Structure 1
Amino acid sequence: MITLHGFAASNYYNLVKHVLLYKDLPFKENLLYASSEALLAISPAGKVPVITTDEGLELSESSVICDFIEDTYPATPLYPENAGERAVVRQIMKMAELYFELPSRRLIPYAFSGTAVPESIATEVRQVLSRGITALSRLSKFSPWVAGEELTMADIYLYYVNTIVSAFGSSQLNWDVLAEVPGMKEWNNAMSQSAIAQKVEADRQANIPEFMQKVAAQIKAANAG
């Protein structure tokens, strides 16, 4: 059985969790926070999520984990059979990560500390997000799913990337980024209505208070230093 290590406030943890639930795979969860000693023992960079298997395999990085799950448990596939179509799905995932999630993540420290985002940072983030908007507008079909008629890994990946874009990119920049991509907000809402997404979200909400306590303690320690 797979053990999923991390915490439910993490969008990448929830991405992997959604994949496991979608494939109806048995797994257990182990609560670990970023950079903890227990996490560092199994994650080279001290990041979540991490999975371990009964065979002792330890894997980090969400895209690597998702590909491992797909290769190991091909039933209920999340990638098309055609190699070109699979590449398109992965291209969407990479664009979402590089030009939506990562720039929005730069705003998290300012949101948590309650400080204003420096204009130089805001400008850089807007520029990268604009590239993401252009790329995803060209690549996404939303007919009804991101890559076409079938739900793929790109849907799950983009949905959890968008939680960061909405929570930090949009709020800190006063910019409804998702609305800039035709069809994305409607698709995002449809994704949020699934039973799996709602379960993952309920678990996320339950973890938020403890996670925020951890964040507050880290900020206090940093200011004290």
Structure 2
Amino acid sequence: MMTLHGFAASNYYNLVKHVLLHKELPFEENLIYGGSDELMAISPAGKIPVVTTAEGLHISESSVICDFIEETYPDSPLYPVNATERAVVRQIMKIAELYFELPSRRLIPYALSGTAAPETVKAEVRQVLNRGITALSRLCQFSPWIAGEQFTMADIYVYYVNTIVSAFGSSQLDWDILAEVPGMKDWNASMSQSAIAQSVEADRLANMPEFLQKVKAQFQAANAE
């Protein structure tokens, strides 16, 4: 049985968890936060999530974990059989990560500290997000799924990328970013109604108070130095 290490307030942790639940794979969860010696012992870069396989191998980086799960457990496939179609799915995932999630993540420290990001940071984030909006508008089909008729890894991946975009990008920039990509808001709402997504969201909300307390403690410790 695999073990999933991390915490439920993390969108990338929840991405991997959704994949495991989709494939109906048995797994255990181990609550662990960044900066701990326990995490450094199993994650080369000290990042979550991490999975430990039944054989004791530790694997980090969410996209790598997802591909490992897909290749090891091919039932309920999340990638198309055709290589070209697989490339399109992976392209959507990579663009969402680089031009949606990562720029929005720059705003997290300001949002969690209750301050507004500097205008220079906002301008830089908007510029990158606009590239993502243009690219995703060209690539996404939402007919009914993000890459077409088949539910794929891109649906799960982008859905959890969007949690960061919605929670931090929109609040700091006063910008409904998902609405800029035709069809994305309706698709995102549909994704949120699945039983798996709702279960994952319930766990996220339950973990959030403890996570915020950890963040507050780290912030206070940094300011005390």
TM-score, reference length from structure 2: 0.99
SS of equivalent to 1:148: coil
TM-score, reference length from structure 1: 0.99
Structure 1: gaps spanning 5 or more residues: none
Counterpart residue number, 1:156: 156
- Structural mapping, 1:146-185, within 5 Å: 146-185=146-185
1:112-155 per-residue CA deviation (whole Å, 9 max, x = no partner) reads 11122111100000000000000000000000000001100000
C-alpha separation between the residues in 1 aligned to 2:214 and 2:150? 39
C-alpha separation between the residues in 2 aligned to 1:222 and 1:104? 23
Counterpart residue number, 1:122: 122
Counterpart residue number, 2:17: 17
User: How far 1:43 moved relative to its partner?
Assistant: 0.4
Counterpart residue number, 1:44: 44
Counterpart residue number, 1:193: 193
Counterpart residue number, 1:94: 94
Structure 2: gaps spanning 5 or more residues: none
Q: How many pairs were matched up? A: 225
Counterpart residue number, 2:5: 5
C-alpha separation between the residues in 2 aligned to 1:112 and 1:167? 11
2:156 matches 1:133: no
SS of equivalent to 2:89: helix
User: How far 1:24 moved relative to its partner?
Assistant: 0.3
User: How far 1:54 moved relative to its partner?
Assistant: 1.5
Stretches (4+) displaced over 6 A: none
Letter in 2 for 1:148: G
C-alpha separation between the residues in 1 aligned to 2:139 and 2:34? 33
User: How far 1:3 moved relative to its partner?
Assistant: 0.3
Letter in 2 for 1:116: A
Counterpart residue number, 2:144: 144
1:77-126 per-residue CA deviation (whole Å, 9 max, x = no partner) reads 00000000000000000000000000000000001111221111000000
SS of equivalent to 1:121: helix
C-alpha separation between the residues in 2 aligned to 1:162 and 1:37? 30
C-alpha separation between the residues in 1 aligned to 2:191 and 2:74? 22
% identical aligned pairs? 79
Counterpart residue number, 1:212: 212
